[in-house]
Amino acid sequence: MDEQITPASSYTGGKKDYLLGLLAGILIGLLLLPILKNAKPSLFDALKLFIVPFFALGVPAGLVVSSFIAKKIPLVWQLAKFLVIGVMNTLVDLGVLAFITILVANDTRHASETTWFTLATLVVTYYSLYKAISFIVANINSFFWNKYWTFGATKASAPSNQFFQFFLVSLIGFAINVTIASLAFSAVISTGSFTVAQAGLIGAALGSILGLAWNFVGYKFFVFKK
């Protein structure tokens, strides 16, 4: 039997891919602006005119580079799009969370009470509720971008519970992220060679890498498998 050869166009991209990359870059830049303004006003003032153009040009340029690498390693093309969506999704999560927080900032009841409800030993704060909402919105955004762009799924091939599968994989990925980050933080800080901030960054990096790796494998081989 002849070996099936994957067409080059399937992993080197086309006009649609680069236009979507341009759109994703613009959205990333726009979403980053209010977050940066709240987190680091001085840096925002210095870079506000350059952020959107930088990502609008940078994302398509990165996709072009990925397309050349993908001629040797085809998986790189899908992975590049997945990482672009991952960045955008993180900013959607943070942006929605910040927006909700601003909306309720003047609510004196929410400002004076941090606990939403208590069930046995489980205490759910208002922040937990807001974070859950932002996580769900971000996952809806991620679902459509990954389905139709990263993995090129079609409506005809989609099972009725596909979004539930996607959300389940994402939830497990989130648990892996938090667990690995927490374990790594404890292990690094126990050496006495790093500050709390440094240990936190190392833990967050390891957690994010393994969480994203799980999500990519889960989406590709379970949710959007062909």
Domain positions in the chain are 153-226
Q: Quick check: 180 and 214 in contact, CB under 8 A?
A: no
Question: Facing residues of 118 across strands?
Answer: 123
What is the C-alpha separation between 33 and 193, in angstroms, rounded?
Answer: 35
Segment 69-84, tens digit of pLDDT: 998 998 899 999 999 9
CA dihedral of residues 160, 163, 168, 169 (deg, nearest 10): 110
Q: For position 69, what pLDDT does the model report?
A: 93
Segment 165-217, tens digit of pLDDT: 999 999 999 899 888 988 888 888 888 888 877 787 788 888 888 998 999 99
Among 67-76, 135-144, 146-155, where is mean pLDDT lowest?
146-155
Percent of the chain predicted with pLDDT > 70: 81
Question: Facing residues of 124 across strands?
Answer: 117
What is the C-alpha separation between 25 and 56, in angstroms, rounded?
Answer: 4
User: Which of 151, 160, 144, 169 has the alpha carbon at shortest distance from 88?
Assistant: 144
In degrees and rounded to multiples of 5, residue 7 shows phi and psi of: -60, 140
Q: Pick the residue with more confidence: 197 or 88?
A: 88
pTM to 2 decimal places: 0.77
Task: Fill in the DSSP letter of residue 3.
Answer: P
Tokens 């992220």 sit on residue: 177
Segment 96-123, tens digit of pLDDT: 877 777 777 655 455 445 555 554 444 4
Q: Pick the residue with more confidence: 114 or 26?
A: 26
- What is the band of 156 on the pLDDT scale with cuts at 50, 70, 90? low
